[in-house]
Amino acid sequence: MLLSTEAVTAARMIGEGRLAGLIVCEDDGTPHTVLGGSQVVRFMIPEYVQEDPTLARVYGEDAAAKLVDRLSTRTVRDLLPRRQDRTALPVVDRDATTVEIAAVMARMHSPLVAVLDDEGRVSGAVTASRLLERIFTRDGDASS
């Protein structure tokens, strides 16, 4: 997903794919940041509703569809916090070991680590749950 992708498209992808988040890339395919599902949700809820649970309660289910309207005409760039610590991107090379991926994930407290190809473009991603699945599979079956 690119910085210029429409915010609605990103939200729909997370929902339909049941994804933990998305990796946001520059137009040249290099990674920019990770966008979590809750960041998208945050953008859909006005701040005064976030601060007041009682107010949130009065909105019926019809209002939920209107949340999507708040994303229209916005891009992914608009969903991201203004100040990004660009040095702290969770990325690994394509030949990274399981321990290396786990170390990056642990250090950056990220639920997702991006995998880069030789040109520095994002070629895939590893989630915390996928990593744990992998570790336990190896643990139980050394031949895999």
Q: What are the residues binding a copy of itself (CB under 8 A)?
A: 11-12, 14-20, 36-42, 44-45, 49-51, 53, 56-57, 59-61, 63-65, 67-68, 96-100, 102-107, 109-111, 127-136, 138-139, 142
Least distance (Å) from a copy of itself to the CB of residue 51? 7
Q: Is the Cβ of residue 11 or residue 28 nearer to a copy of itself in the bound state?
A: 11
Q: Count Cβ atoms within 10 A of the Cβ of residue 14 and give its class: 0-12 exposed, 13-18 middle, 19 or more buried.
A: buried
Least distance (Å) from a copy of itself to the CB of residue 76? 14
- Residue at 130: amino acid letter: R
Q: Is the Cβ of residue 3 or residue 131 nearer to a copy of itself in the bound state?
A: 131
Handedness of CA 75, 38, 96, 83 (dihedral sign): positive
Least distance (Å) from a copy of itself to the CB of residue 7? 11
Under 8 Å between Cβ of 4 and 60: no
Q: Is the Cβ of residue 27 or residue 60 nearer to a copy of itself in the bound state?
A: 60
Under 8 Å between Cβ of 61 and 9: no
Residue 7: closest CA among 31, 41, 47, 46 = 41
Q: Is the Cβ of residue 28 or residue 109 nearer to a copy of itself in the bound state?
A: 109
Least distance (Å) from a copy of itself to the CB of residue 93? 9
- Residue at 129: amino acid letter: S
